[in-house]
């Protein structure tokens, strides 16, 4: 049935310029956990909200202690076959780009060029006072200097790049500030409770406008920032396909749903669209 479904998806999308909308499920095979996929059931973890982060020094201390522990793991992640397949679709002219809800940068590492990151990227941080940006490896080095006694404890990692850290370590963790004005630093990502920047959304909407179809990969579409593209595509009478290893909010709205591992299904889809193995 899966083979038939992916053939159906290829028939639906063949000859069309397709926008790919990706979520956390495409990165799970790179080792990054997700929030809502099958492997995340029972995790029961509540992420920090934007309001909590900007309003509490203690919350920021907790965030940066956990992020400091989790960054080496995130930095070591590499694209998987799903990312490579999406990049191949763009290179072959079958996709006009990627709109991603992910903050890991793996699409770009795999070779995708037209990428809009709805929720930002963990590889940079920004000062909330003066707007100065800093690359994350630079900040990681400064955090290490401020916390020379810190020893990572092989923690459990989380979807947003942080990790479980004991409370006693959090309590002593020293947070780095902006090198220019000593202001508060925030990862350049969209937190829960924070809106996608207007210019980012406009770029993503324009890409959908230029596309003939929409392909959703690895997203449950629970968050409105992703689901609205399905709504807009259907309103414009554009075909919509979903490839995901689990149920999604858009299952009843789309033309075809294929369920299974993206690392297996997306390379097959890319090959079919390119005319191989047909």
- Report residue 88 as tokens: 């191949």
Q: Is 119 a catalytic residue?
A: yes
Nearest to 187 by CA among 130, 123, 256: 123
| Residue 137 CB partners (closer than 8 Å, separation 6+) | 75
Considering 8, 83, 107, 119, which one is annotated as catalytic?
A: 119
Residues annotated catalytic, as ranges: 119
């Amino acid at each position: 049935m899966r083979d038939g479904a992916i053939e159906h998806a290829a028939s639906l999308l063949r000859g069309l310029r397709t926008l790919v909308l990706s979520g956390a499920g495409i990165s799970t095979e790179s080792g990054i956990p997700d929030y809502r996929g099958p492997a995340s059931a029972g995790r029961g973890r509540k992420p920090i909200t934007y309001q909590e982060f900007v309003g509490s020094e203690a919350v920021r201390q907790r965030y940066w202690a956990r992020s400091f522990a989790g960054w080496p793991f995130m930095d070591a992640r590499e694209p998987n076959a799903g990312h490579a397949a999406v990049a191949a679709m763009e290179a072959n002219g079958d996709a006009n780009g990627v709109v991603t809800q992910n903050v890991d940068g793996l699409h770009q590492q795999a070779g995708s060029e037209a990428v809009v990151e709805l929720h930002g990227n963990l590889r940079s941080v920004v000062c909330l006072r003066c707007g100065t940006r800093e690359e994350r490896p630079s900040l990681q080095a400064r955090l290490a200097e401020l916390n020379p006694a810190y020893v990572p404890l092989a923690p459990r990692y989380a979807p947003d790049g942080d990790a479980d850290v004991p409370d006693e370590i959090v309590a002593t963790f020293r947070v780095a500030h902006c090198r220019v004005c000593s202001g508060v630093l925030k990862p350049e990502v969209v937190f829960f409770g924070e809106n996608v920047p207007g210019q980012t959304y406009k770029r993503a909407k324009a890409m959908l406008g230029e596309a003939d179809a929409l392909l959703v990969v690895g997203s449950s579409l629970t968050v409105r920032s992703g689901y609205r593209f399905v709504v807009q595509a259907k309103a414009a009478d554009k075909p919509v396909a979903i490839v995901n290893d689990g149920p999604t909010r858009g299952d009843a709205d789309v033309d075809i749903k294929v369920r299974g591992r993206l690392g297996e299904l997306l390379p097959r889809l890319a090959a079919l669209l390119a005319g191989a193995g047909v």
